[in-house]
Amino acid sequence: QMDLCIEAFGTSKQKRALNSRRMNAVGNDILSTAVTKAAANIIDSKGITALIQDVAQDDMQNISVFLPPCHEDAEKPEDVYKFEDILSPAEYEALRVPAEVLVNITPEEIIKKTEEKSYCSFVLEELKFLPVDEKSRDHKARCLWYLDTLIKFSFLKVIKKKHPMGPECPHVISRKLMKNFTLLTYNNDSVQNLISASMKAKITAYVIALALHIKNFQIDLTVLQNDMKLQESRVMDIAKAMRLKVSKSKGPPELVPDQNHKLATLSLPLPEHKAPAGQRKRRKMK
């Protein structure tokens, strides 16, 4: 209605602005249609599987882009990767309800969940050591529930459902997972969310950062590596990019028998950042 009023009674300047805005809208529609058609043509010619592989190879190049914010000037380990950079206050509050099942879990239920493998090994082990103090117990339960959800989310590839983690996952957490840990891709005339190699690396980095907060800044990397079904070299690259000190350990035999474990410690001062293994330094031009 406003546009009609401008057409009938507007000044010359207002009419020029209206025409310009309409032309821009038409141009944007044409561009959007062209991009959509081009994307469809690429997918028709290459196939979604080949595209996922291409994205994966491109994403492997630079892990550091996908790490949580690192506060190098921190005076305490807990401030290097701040908890609020992993979970905002609103997201943390939303975890209260789903985490109640872990707050109230009994030793008998832990044994049953272990047999059923309902949770990842890291979480199942930490459930045996929930604090007695109500506030601390609730805090750890929320962290463990979210960590387990992150790991399960990392196993998805192309996400078609709006709430892939089920109705028990709070809406604010579902939105965070989709927004922060997926890439948009086009397939069969629709936009879908893809967990590429870079997004898997990003999820791994956030899992490590959260696990450090849970375990007083020293974690068994090998347990997380097996939980996330990753190669050791990949996890080591991420840990080193996060400036963690890595050492060898026997590890709990009931989790990964006959396997040398890698312990990762976050301590100050932080080690110097080194490029991940396999990335060659460029030669300087003489």
Nearest to residue 187, comparing CAs of 156, 159, 166? 159
φ, ψ at 217 (rounded to 5°): 70, 25
Q: What's residue 159's pLDDT?
A: 86
In degrees, rounded to 5, the angle at the alpha carbon of residue 107 between the alpha carbons of residues 103 and 113 is 80
Confidence of residue 59 (pLDDT cuts 50, 70, 90): very low
User: What is the biggest distance separating any 2 CA atoms in the chain, rounded to whole angstroms?
Assistant: 84
| pLDDT tens digits, one per residue of 191-235 | 788 998 999 999 999 999 999 999 999 999 999 999 999 999 999
| For residues 253-259, average pLDDT | 55
pLDDT band at 3 (very low <50, low <70, confident <90, very high): low
Q: What is the predicted pLDDT for the residue at 184?
A: 82
User: CA angle, corner 181, sides to 220 and 104, nearest 5?
Assistant: 55
Under the banding of pLDDT at 50, 70 and 90, the label for residue 105 is very high
138-160 pLDDT, tens digit each: 999 999 999 999 999 999 988 87
3-state helix, strand, coil in the chain (%, to 5): 55, 10, 35
pTM of the model: 0.74
Confidence at residue 75, expressed as pLDDT on a 0 to 100 scale: 94
